[in-house]
Amino acid sequence: MVTTAFRLDGKAAIITGGGSGIGQAIARRFAASGATVHICDLHLDRASATARQISEATGGIAFAVQCDVTDAASTQQIFGRIAAQGRIDILVNSAGISHIGRLETTSEDDFDRVFQVNVKGVFHCMQAVVGPMRDQGGGVILNLASIAATAGLSDRFAYSMSKGAVLSMTLSVAKDYLKDKIRCNAISPARIHTPFVDAFLREHYAGREKEMFSTLSNAQPIGRMGLPDEVASMALFLCSDEASFITGADLPLDGGFVNLRG
């Protein structure tokens, strides 16, 4: 039986941070579900590689775009150019960086760097699409927050601050643009197994990677880390017409981390 559920045929999506990790998985899933995807990434080579993979694997339509989301003027210009080609039906804010440190060990430069990417980057991208979305009669914005927005995590001071801001911005935009038929939601993952995790283990736990991978995996009550494709599946649902009654929501994807610990 062929199903048409969770299809994005005829829709255009911008996915920031789409050249790797969670953003890449979302770009692949959206393209496989019929969307035209604009893969925006600071690293053009990564975006281009992902676009080629999409085209070769599924015949999907994907464009690679170099974009520094911390630059407001550049982001407006790039998104405006995409909007001029047709529509922007979906924006997924997946670009982000992490930081390890508590209050005392977080420098002002560290704090500012995380804020510029994770907070102002989301702000710039949402500000660039709400006008076109309003003019065309609606759209969907999906922000990647984190369980760090609502749960106390050790040594994640600046990162938690930034994801708390992402969640607050999500709720504000959802409220302010109800009448414009712009839905805005967030996904809050726990630890997801991306190349970042592997690089982190190599850098900080050389020779103990397997041991620490097991420790980090077991921090989720379900006993493992999440997968980028699992985030992409939830993103597909939230950006599809089947989720048309959902806005202003924060959906945890955490293997029971928030509610089932202890």
pLDDT tens, position by position, 138-193: 999 999 999 999 998 999 999 999 999 999 999 999 999 999 999 999 999 999 99
CATH number for the domain including 43? 3.40.50.720
Give a yes or no: residue 63 inside a domain: yes
Domain identity same for 245 and 210: no
0.85 surpassed by pTM: yes
* 115, 40: one domain: yes
- Same structural domain, 221 and 145: no
Are residues 213 and 93 part of one domain? no
In a domain, 2, yes or no: no
Same domain flag for 219 and 244 = no
Cα-Cα end-to-end distance for the chain:
43
Range(s) of the domain holding residue 218: 192-225
Q: Are 189 and 226 in contact (CB under 8 A)?
A: yes
Task: Check 79, 123, 159, 257 and give the catalytic one.
Answer: 159
Q: What tokens does 204 get?
A: 């900080």
Taking only the tens place, the pLDDT of each residue in 67-101 is 999 999 999 999 999 999 999 999 999 999 999 99
Residue 26, domain member (yes or no): yes
* Contact (Cβ atoms closer than 8 angstroms) between residue 77 and residue 92: no
Residues 156 and 114 in one domain: yes
Domain co-membership, 221 together with 134: no
Secondary structure class of 177 (helix, strand, coil): coil
Annotation marks residue 159 as catalytic: yes
Q: Is residue 1 part of a domain?
A: no
